Every structure is written in C-alpha cells, then in structure tokens.
C-alpha cells in the first residue's frame, strides 16, 4: 500500500488545514516579508561556513595589517581591531543567536506549556495554586535583573547565559497557556470529552492543547526576537559568549570603544540584531493572524 | 392593512446585489433583492439562517462588513438613495429616522455604562430635544418616560443599574425603549425576541406592536421563527438564498402558501396537534460561491423544470393581487 | 413500576451552586423515571433547571443531594468517578453544535474518539468503517464529510455529527439538551426525524429537554414541566396537552406561537403571560409560581404544594386542585 509523495503531502495539508492558514497568513505583505527574512536568516545561520566569505575569521584569527579597515570591496562590512571580516562574524553571529533562541525555547516551551495546561485544567484546586504561585514568583523579578544575577553567579559562557534566560522565561508560557485553557475549560466539547469517558490526559493533550496552539506559536515566534535581545544584552555586559566567539551582542559591546573611528564595528552588528528581531516580529504577527477567527 | 401602492413608499430596495470576499472566493449572497415598505406598514421577513436577511438590513443602514461589496441595485429612502448618501446625511438618517434592534440585547448594550447613561446619550442626540437645553434633569425625565413606555417596573432603579444586572427580557425592552425614543420613520428589528423565553417573547412582541402602532412607525421585523411573524406584522416577505420569493399579507401567506419553499417551510414546523415530524426540505442551502443558475431553489424543488434552471423568475401574481410569488409555476397566469 | 424495569430513576435530585451572589438553587428535589425506549420530555423556560438536571444526570455536575439510579446502579457522582462501562451507555447532545465539536478536529476524528476511548474497534480500518456507518445513520454523506472540520459545516450538519458521536458506543440513554434550538425549522425537522428513527432502530431512551412545546408535543411520550427548579406538572403527552392543569402550564401553552387557527383553538385561554421568572437565589416562599399566578391565594403564598394525582399518571403540584 504505497501512497505517493503528492498524496502524502495532500493528506498532511488537510490534516493541518494548511491551505486556509496560508490564505490568512498571506493577506498581509508584511508577514510574507517577515517569513522570507526569517527563513533567510535561518538558512544563513545553518550554512554559515559556506556563506561567509571568510569563515576562519569567526574563531581565533588575527591579521593586524588589515585591522580597522572601512567597508570596501574585499571586506564588505570592514574589519575589526583584529583584522577579522565583520560580515563573516555577523553571519556566524546569526548562528549563535538563533541557536541560543532555539535551545532556550526548546527548553522552556514544553515544560511551561504543560504546567499551564495542568494548572488550567485543575483550575481552582491546589495544583493550580501551587503551579501558578511558583510561576508568579519568577515573573515578579525583572527579567534582566534575574538573568544578570544568575549569570553573574555562574561562570560566563554561552551555555550559562542560555540557562539563565531559560529559567526566567518558562512562567510566561505557563501563564499564557493557563489563561487560554481557563477560557476553554467550560466549553461543551471539553465537557463532552469527559462525559464520554476520556481520561484527563486525553482531554488535556488531545482536546484542549490543539486549541491553544495559536497563542503559543505566536508567542514562540515573537520570543525568538526577545531571547536574542536578552542574550545580546548579557553578552554586552560580558556574561554570555566569550571572545573570540562572534556573538552579535559582544560585537556591539566591543565595537563601542571604536565608535568614533570605526563605526562599522558597532553599527552593522546592531543592524543585524534589529533585522532578526524585526523579521521574527513580522512573522509572529502573521502567525497570529492565522489563528484569529474569521468573522462570519 | 392594505398595501398603499399609490403613495411613495418609505423604503424601497431595488434589485440589490451584495457579495462578500472570502478565502474561497466571492460569496454572491444577495441576488437582486426587492423590498418595499410604506408609511406605517409592518413588514416581516421570514428566512432561514444565511438567506441574506441581515445583510439586506445592514445594507439599509450601511453597516456592512468591510469585505462586503455592493454589486448592483439601490435603496431608496424617502426618495434619497441610501447607498449614495454622503456621511452627514447618513449620520442624520441613522440618528433620527431609522433604528435597528438586534438579536442579542446583551451585546447591544455597552456593559461599562449604566442604563441611564446609555439612554441619556441616545435621547440627547436623537434630534427630538434641543441639545443645548438638555439638562441632566430633563434627560433623566425623558429616560424615565421611555422606560415606562416599555412597561419596565421601577424605572429609577433600572436607570441606575448596569445591563448585566438585568434579565434578558429587560435588556431587550431597554433596547426597544432606546429605539423608540429616536426613530421617527422606520424600526428594523432583527430577531428581537429569539433569545428570550417564550412567555417573555409574547409580552415583548405585544408591547412592540402596540407602541409601533401608537407612534405610526413602520417596522421591518426579521425572524426565522414563523410564529413570531404571524402574530405581529401585516405583510410578509419570504426570503431564500438572497432573493425574495414570496410576498403576501400575513393571513394569506399562512393559509395559502404558494412557493414550494414556503410550503416546505410551513410543513416543517411541528404542530401543537401532534402530527409528528415532516421530512423537512430535501437538500442543502446553496453554496454562495457557485450558486445554482436560474432559480436558486431549483436543486431542492420537486417541481423544477427547464426554465427554472436557466432564469431567475420575476414576481407573478398569486391568487390575489397582493400575493406575489417568484416562481415559474405561476408564470402562466 | 419497579426499579428493574426503569432505565433511569431520579430521586429527590437537588443541585445548588455556590456563587458570590448567594446559593443558586438550580434543581430542588425532583423525581421522575424514564423507561427503556421512551422519550421523556422536560420542559421549562430559562432558570427552570431543566438543562442543569440533564447535566447532573450525565455527570457534568455532582448532585448536591438525591440519587440517580441508572440500570439499577447508583451513579449519583461526577462522571469522572463513574465506571467507564457506564459512560458507554449514556451520551449527551448539547444545544450549541458550534462549541460541542472540537474545532481543531476532523469529523472522522470526532466520531472516532469514543470508539478509541472504549476500544470498540480492533484496528484503523474497522474504525473507519464504523465511522462511515455512523455518518450514514444520521444521513450525512460519509466520504465527503470525513475530512472536513466543524467550521465547514452548517448548524444542522454539525448537530447530526454530534448525534453520530453520541450513538457511536451504542448507548441505551441519551440526554438531548435543546438539540434543535439553534437550528432553522426545516433542519430541525430533519434532525428530529433522524432522532426518532434512531430511537426505533437502536431502542434508545431520550431525556428530551426543550422550551419548545410544539416540538415536545411530537417528540415525547411523557412530559414534565419545570418551573424554578421544581417539577410542577407531569403527564403523558396527549393528556398534558389536552388537559393542562397547572396555571404555569396554561400560561406557557397560551404563549406558544402557532401558525394555524386550528392550533390556536387548542391553546388554553385565561392565563396570559405576565411577570418575569424570580431569582433562583431567593425563590418565593410557598408555591414558587404564586408571584405570577392570577389565581394565587393565601395558602399559595405560604405553603409549598404537594403532588396530587388528578388522573392516572397525571400529577400536578397546585393547591387549587386539592379538594
């Protein structure tokens, strides 16, 4: 019983209602722009060693004779104080930023969402109180402060920066999911599921969860930008990626000293950060549009 | 009340065509709707959900959704074309001449304001009183009068309450009070009692009928509940899939329905005498993206023949002059 | 009538809700029985407690007191605490087809779910076959509809899917909570015909809850009318409509919108509708209907009436009938 690839793709499309979702997404040209740029940055990040003109500049490398050269034909974005190509380092910087976003979100979203589902489903009981008050404790501390304190206690590294960010990020997903589930808790289809004999885990994961995906996916997309920003902030103060790792935030920080004579060291990495965040924000808007109910 | 065909009608919808743009294509909902309301006339529109009755009314007030397009026809109100009115005249018309009561009174009343504030606002800008002379006291006085007219007990307390503190029947009465305190010419009521209990429905409809007659207003009452229409209006329009398909005086329509759809509809209503359930009307409501050509009812009609599939029938006379049917079965007369 | 014959026995069932405004007495000590294969009608307006009764019976709410006995077993608890095999025997069809079907699921998924939960088919193919069977039983074109989602369907079709889902496990009892209120009249007729046909074929019992008396007249074999959490009159259908005795019943019947003069003649006169339903937090003392009843006297205002059997199987709770 072999089904062709086309057939499979078609089934997949119906299963997840992709045609309708694409229609809603594509109504806004900005969403398409966001999608294109986001995908482009992801591809660039993956293919960094092949896309960057001088991949070796991304690690230990010095070429002092060519240091601090302005943007030109050999080095499109100029070179930094070690003679390293800024463009190549930015491309590798994308890699680290996106990797950080991917790891943090992968660590944070599943537990955050699951806790929110459980708290929302058992709303009003001690389970709800326990989970939500713990989440509240983490939310109460300003994000940057918490991340800084954690990162300061641990030895500065990309890994520890990611842990720090993860630790303060999960409660937002719990809260978001909790609110979405609470609103849905008394809908007839949830009652129907329970009355039918479904186990609690079936009701939670099979019935309720698919209806929460809208807000969650939107937030994930928008969070890519925020996580990158937070990671860059940590690197800026030296608590994230350590030299010679080409991290966008570090580049902005180090380039700051040379702002007068070599503006390209700071401005281009900063623009790169802005570009990623903007792209994912536009993509997030588009995803949100998909899940907005069409008015009759 | 006989339809006065000699005087200029208050509202005339002529051959109205409206569509909606959606992801699957364009929904060609209204297919040439014709409707006439005379001064002081009570008109009912019967139709099932999706037939376009609310769309027609929204077109009259020009409150259609943004993805709606007017593809043809016009709406004459006292000689002016509503579809071509400028914003100023339109605003004036909405404030002073035509009002609408919606199905869900809870959604129609702003929940963060007290009833007194809502009413005062409406009365102040209704054009029935001098805005500059409208002191708080005058407005409150007029609000109490309006509430007394709709038989709301304890009007003072109601004015100081928020909508959520009142029952559904009371909220709908407030909406009626708001409409009646401003409307001079036409009241459009879109399923005004569908969300209410049967005993309250009864009371509210009787109330509406009395007040409307007292003030000489014209009414367009829309409902899918046939019984509601029967007790309240003089003339009935039956609507199906974007067309008016039968027009008659109320008594005539219910005792002698002519269009196959109307017949099927009346048969579907369960009878108090206990005769069981009918088969309903076979088939489904048509797809508005690719509506059937000719008469839109033909795929479901047991009497359909060649011409029904090709041309949308115009109105023909039924048994009496005032009874019109848009059906080729009556074309020979 | 002994317990073995009755499918469902409801004894002194009470349900109160604690809210910030006070205790809402939604259902107060009601009693009735449903036999196998019959349709028992529960009529009332909003606030009467009819829907709450249905929800307590199916297990969405836990009763505050009283008993629900299904096929001889005491099931007076929330659905979660009931044995799984009993949940196969009872089903519910809700009033609003839009929210009773999970919008993210396909029709096939929706109908398959009870089959999966109770392990009623051995493999995927058998399940699909059963889904097709069920869709055909409710007169929907199976092949077309399996992959669609609820939002692609009209109200009547969604409700038909809800019915298909309800009969999937071959239950013996279904609670129908205003199954056609949200539907147009021509679709209502179709769904009612399907429900009646299924009842015959599968020997189902229905608890039919509605406010529409014309509908009830043709659907139920026995009717109980509820007002403000209590049953006030109870009779076999033809008797109920020919000889309505409780003033509230008469008021309700007189406000039914009908389409023909013959039906108009069948309606009682003398008790036109007036007043509004009092609050369920503070129901009036004595007979709860006395605030709207044109025939109320002193006894009505102070003492709660008890049931009087006026003729075989016809019970009314009204002081005016006590001799």
* B39 has a pLDDT exceeding 70: yes
Q: Does A293 touch chain B (CB under 8 A)?
A: no
Determine the angle formed by the axes of helices A143-153 and A213-236, rounding to 10 degrees. Answer: 50
C contact chains, 3+ CB pairs < 8 A: A, B
Q: C3 in a domain, yes or no?
A: no
- Inter-chain Cβ pairs, chain A and chain B, closer than 8 A: 6
Give contacts of A 7-36 with B, CB under 8 A.
20, 23-24
Let me know if A76 is exposed, middle or buried by CB neighbors in 10 A (0-12, 13-18, 19+).
middle
CA–CA min distance A25, chain B (Å): 11
Q: Within a domain: residue A231?
A: yes
Nearest by CB to C256, which of B198, B226, B279?
A: B198
The answer to whether residue A1 sits within a structural domain is no
The CA distance from C117 to the nearest CA of chain B, in Å, is 33
Q: Is C1 among the domain residues? A: no
Chains that touch B (3 or more CB pairs under 8 A): A, C
Per-residue model confidence as pLDDT tens digits over B50-96:
899 989 999 999 999 888 999 999 999 988 898 888 999 898 888 88
| Half-sphere exposure (Cβ direction) of B158: Cα atoms closer than 13 Å | 26
- A100 assigned to some structural domain: yes
Position with higher pLDDT, A253 vs C234: C234
Q: How far is CA B45 from CA A169, B73, B153, in A?
A: 56, 19, 31
Query: How many domains does chain A divide into?
Result: 1
Residues 6+ apart with CB under 8 A from C72: C3, C4
Express as a percent the part of chain A with pLDDT over 90: 35
Chain C residue with minimum CA distance to A16: C104
Interchain proximity A188–C99, CB inside 8 Å = yes
Instruction: Give how many domains chain C has, as a whole number.
Output: 1
Q: Taking residues B244-253, what's their average pLDDT? A: 93
Contact A211 C106 (CB under 8 A): no
Is A60 strand, coil or helix? coil
A202 at interface of C, judged by CB pairs closer than 8 A: yes
**Which residues lie across from C205 on neighbouring strands?**
C173
CA distance C279 to chain A (A): 23
**Does C2 map to a domain?**
no
Do A20 and B65 count as a contact with CB atoms less than 8 A apart? no
What counts of helices (H) and strands (E) characterise chain A? 13, 0
Q: Which CATH number characterizes residue C162's domain?
A: 3.40.50.300
* pLDDT band at residue A122 under the 50/70/90 scheme: very high
Round to whole Å and give the CA distance between B208 and B196. 14
- As a whole number of Å, the CA-based R_g of chain C is 21
pLDDT score for C151 = 86
How confident is the model at residue A217, as a pLDDT? 92
Instruction: Report the Cα–Cα distance between both ends of chain C, in Å, rounded.
Output: 27
> Is A20 close to B22, i.e. CB distance below 8 A?
no
Nearest to A195 among C58, C103, C104 (CB): C58
Whether C2 shows a pLDDT value over 60: the answer reads no
B5 has pLDDT over 70: no
User: Is C60 in Cβ contact with A191 (below 8 Å)?
Assistant: yes
Domain range spanning residue C144? 8-321
On whether residue A162 sits in a domain, the answer given is: yes
pLDDT grade, residue C323 (50/70/90)?
low
Contact of C210 with C192, CB cutoff 8 Å: no
Q: Which of these, B214, B221, B256, lies nearest to B237 by C-alpha position? A: B221
Cβ of A196 within 8 Å of Cβ of C84? The answer is no
pLDDT at A295 over 70: no
Chain A positions touching C165 (Cβ under 8 A) are 192
pLDDT for C64 beyond 90: yes
Closest CA to B207 of C273, C266, C252, C213: C273
Q: Strand C222-227 to strand C39-43: parallel, antiparallel, or no bridges (unpaired)?
A: parallel
Contact across the interface for A295 and B23, Cβ inside 8 Å: no
Return the pLDDT at A1. Answer: 53
What residues of chain B have any CB closer than 8 angstroms to a CB in chain A? 22-23, 65
B153 touching C (Cβ < 8 Å): no
C213: which chain B residues are within 8 Å (Cβ-Cβ)?
Answer: 198, 272
How many CB atoms within 10 Å of residue C272? 14
Residue C210 lies in a domain: yes
Of all residues in chain B, the one with the smallest CA distance to A294 is: B22
Interface test with B, best of C189, C236, C250, C278 (most B CBs within 10 A): C189
Q: Which tens digits make up the pLDDT trace of A162-188?
A: 887 788 889 999 999 999 999 898 889
Question: Which residues on chain A are in Cβ contact (under 8 Å) with B65?
Answer: 295
Residue A97 located in a structural domain = yes
| Full residue range of the structural domain in which residue A242 is found | 23-291
Cβ-based contacts under 8 A for chains B and C? 126
Is there a domain that residue A3 lies in? no
From the candidates A22, A26, A290, A296, which should be mutated to test the interface with B, based on the most B CB atoms within 10 A?
A296
In a mutagenesis test of the C interface, which of A21, A122, A124, A196 is the best target, namely the one with the most C β-carbons within 10 Å? A196
Q: Is a pLDDT exceeding 70 seen at residue A294?
A: no
Say whether pLDDT at A29 is over 60.
yes
* Nearest-angstrom CA–CA distance, B196 and B194: 6
pLDDT of residue A293: 59
Q: B256: distance to nearest CA of chain A, Å?
A: 35
Per-residue confidence band for B278, with pLDDT thresholds at 50, 70 and 90: confident
Instruction: Say whether A24 and B23 touch across the interface (CB within 8 A).
Output: yes
Q: Which helix (H) or strand (E) holds A110?
A: helix A86-121
User: Which has more pLDDT, B151 or B258?
Assistant: B258
**Residue C220 included in any domain:** yes
> Cβ separation of A202 and C117 shorter than 8 Å?
yes
Looking at every residue in chain A, the average pLDDT score rounds to 86
**A8 in a structural domain:** no
Q: Assess B283–C contact: CB distance below 8 Å, yes or no.
A: no
Q: Which of B240, B269, B287 is the best residue to mutate to test the C interface, defined by the most C CB atoms within 10 Å of its own CB?
A: B269
- CATH number of the CATH domain containing A161: 1.10.3720.10
Q: Are C103 and A211 in contact (CB under 8 A)?
A: yes
Find chain B residues with C-beta within 8 A of C260's C-beta. 254-255, 271
Which chain A residues are closer than 8 Å to B22 by Cβ? 294
Q: Does the structure show a pLDDT above 60 at C3? A: no
Give the percent of chain B with pLDDT over 70: 96
What is the reported pLDDT for A3?
Answer: 65
Asked if A295 and B22 come within 8 Å (Cβ–Cβ), the reply is no
C280 pLDDT band, cuts 50/70/90, is confident
DSSP letters, C200-239, are HHHT-EEEEEES-HHHHHHH-SEEEEEETTEEEEEEEHHH
Mean pLDDT of A74-79: 84
> Cβ A195–C79 below 8 Å, yes or no?
yes
Question: Could you tell me if C37 and C204 are in contact, meaning their C-beta atoms sit under 8 angstroms apart?
Answer: yes
DSSP symbols for B81-103? EGGG--HHHHHHIIIIIEEEE-S
């Amino acid at each position: 019983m072999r089904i062709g690839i086309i057939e499979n793709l078609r089934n997949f499309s119906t299963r997840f209602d992709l045609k309708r979702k694409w229609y809603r997404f594509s109504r806004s040209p900005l969403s398409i722009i966001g999608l294109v740029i986001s995908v482009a940055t992801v591809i660039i990040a993956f293919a960094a060693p092949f896309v960057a003109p001088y991949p070796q500049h991304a690690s230990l490398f010095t070429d002092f004779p060519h240091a601090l050269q302005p943007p030109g034909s050999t080095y499109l974005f100029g070179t930094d104080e070690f003679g390293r190509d800024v463009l190549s380092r930015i491309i590798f910087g994308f890699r680290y930023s996106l990797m950080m976003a991917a790891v943090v979100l992968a660590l944070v979203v599943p537990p955050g969402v699951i806790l929110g589902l459980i708290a929302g489903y058992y709303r009003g009981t001690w389970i709800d109180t326990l989970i939500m008050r713990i989440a509240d404790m983490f939310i109460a501390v300003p994000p940057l402060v918490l991340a800084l304190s954690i990162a300061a206690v641990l030895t500065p590294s990309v890994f520890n920066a990611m842990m720090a960010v993860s630790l303060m990020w999960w409660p937002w997903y719990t809260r978001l999911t909790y609110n979405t589930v609470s609103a849905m808790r008394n809908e007839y289809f949830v009652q129907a599921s329970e009355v039918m004999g479904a186990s609690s885990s079936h009701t939670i994961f099979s019935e309720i969860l698919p209806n929460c995906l809208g807000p969650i996916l939107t937030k994930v997309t928008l969070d890519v930008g925020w996580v990158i920003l937070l990671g860059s902030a940590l690197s800026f103060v030296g608590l994230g990626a350590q030299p010679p790792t080409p991290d966008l935030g570090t580049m902005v920080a180090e380039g700051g000293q040379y702002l007068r004579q070599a503006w390209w060291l700071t401005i281009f990495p900063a623009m790169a950060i802005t570009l990623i965040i903007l792209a994912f924000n536009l993509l997030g808007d588009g995803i949100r549009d998909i899940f907005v109910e069409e008015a009759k | 009340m006989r339809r006065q065909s000699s005087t200029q009608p208050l509202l005339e919808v002529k051959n109205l065509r409206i569509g909606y743009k959606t992801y699957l294509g364009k929904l060609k909902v209204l297919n040439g709707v014709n409707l006439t309301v005379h001064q002081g006339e009570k008109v009912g529109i019967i139709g099932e959900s999706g037939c376009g009755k609310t769309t027609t009314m929204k077109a009259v007030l020009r409150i259609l959704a943004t993805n709606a397009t007017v593809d043809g026809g016009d709406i004459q109100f006292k000689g002016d074309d509503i579809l071509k009115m400028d914003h100023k005249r339109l605003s004036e018309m909405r404030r002073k001449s035509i009002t609408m009561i919606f199905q869900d009174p809870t959604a129609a009343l702003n929940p963060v304001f007290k009833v007194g504030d809502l009413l005062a606002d409406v009365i102040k800008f209704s054009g029935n009183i001098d805005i500059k002379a409208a002191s708080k006291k005058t407005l409150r006085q007029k609000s109490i009068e309006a509430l007394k007219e709709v038989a709301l007990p304890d009007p003072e307390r109601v004015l100081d309450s928020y909508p959520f503190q009142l029952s559904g029947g009371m909220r709908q009465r407030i909406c009626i009070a708001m409409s009646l305190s401003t409307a001079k010419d036409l009241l459009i009521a879109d399923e005004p009692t569908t969300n209410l209990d049967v005993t309250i429905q009864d009371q509210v409809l009787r109330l509406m009928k009395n007040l409307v007659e007292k003030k000489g207003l014209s009414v367009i009452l829309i409902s899918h509940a046939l019984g509601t229409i029967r007790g309240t209006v003089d003339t009935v329009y039956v609507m199906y899939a974007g067309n008016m398909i039968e027009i008659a005086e109320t008594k005539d329509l219910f005792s002698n329905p002519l269009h196959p759809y109307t017949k099927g509809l009346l048969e579907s209503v369960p009878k108090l005498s206990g005769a069981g359930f009918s088969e309903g009307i076979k088939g489904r409501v048509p797809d508005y993206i690719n509506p059937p050509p000719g008469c839109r009812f033909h795929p479901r009609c047991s009497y359909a023949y060649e011409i029904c599939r090709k041309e949308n029938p115009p109105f023909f006379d039924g048994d009496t002059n005032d009874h019109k049917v848009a059906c080729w079965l009556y074309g020979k007369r | 009538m002994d317990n073995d014959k009755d499918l469902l026995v409801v004894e002194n069932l009470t349900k109160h809700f604690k809210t910030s405004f006070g205790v809402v007495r939604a259902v107060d000590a009601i009693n009735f029985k449903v036999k196998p294969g019959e349709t028992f009608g529960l009529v009332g307006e909003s606030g009467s407690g009819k829907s709450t009764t249905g929800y307590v019976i199916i297990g969405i709410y836990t009763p505050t007191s009283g008993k629900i006995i299904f096929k001889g077993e005491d099931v007076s608890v929330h659905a979660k605490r009931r044995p799984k095999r009993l949940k196969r025997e009872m089903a519910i069809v809700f009033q609003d087809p839009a929210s009773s079907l999970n919008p993210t699921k396909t029709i096939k998924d929706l109908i398959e779910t009870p089959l999966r939960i109770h392990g009623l088919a051995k493999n995927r193919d058998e399940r699909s076959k059963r889904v097709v069977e069920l869709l055909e039983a409710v007169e929907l074109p199976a092949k077309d509809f399996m992959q669609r989602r609820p939002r692609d369907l009209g109200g009547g079709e969604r409700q038909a899917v809800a019915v298909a889902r309800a009969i999937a496990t071959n239950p013996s009892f279904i609670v129908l909570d205003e199954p056609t209120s949200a539907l147009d009249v021509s679709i209502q007729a179709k769904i009612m015909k399907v429900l009646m046909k299924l009842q015959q074929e599968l020997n189902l019992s229905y608890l039919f809850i509605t406010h529409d008396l014309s509908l009830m007249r043709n659907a139920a074999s026995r009717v109980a009318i509820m007002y403000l959490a209590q049953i006030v009159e109870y009779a076999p259908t033809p008797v109920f409509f020919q000889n309505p005795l409780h003033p509230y019943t008469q008021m309700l019947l007189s406000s039914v919108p009908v389409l023909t003069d013959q039906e108009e003649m069948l309606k009682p006169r003398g008790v036109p509708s007036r007043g509004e339903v009092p609050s369920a937090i503070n129901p009036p003392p004595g007979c709860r209907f006395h605030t709207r009843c044109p025939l109320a006297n002193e006894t009505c205002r102070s003492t709660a009436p008890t049931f009087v059997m006026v003729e075989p199987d016809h019970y009314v709770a009204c002081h005016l009938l006590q001799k």
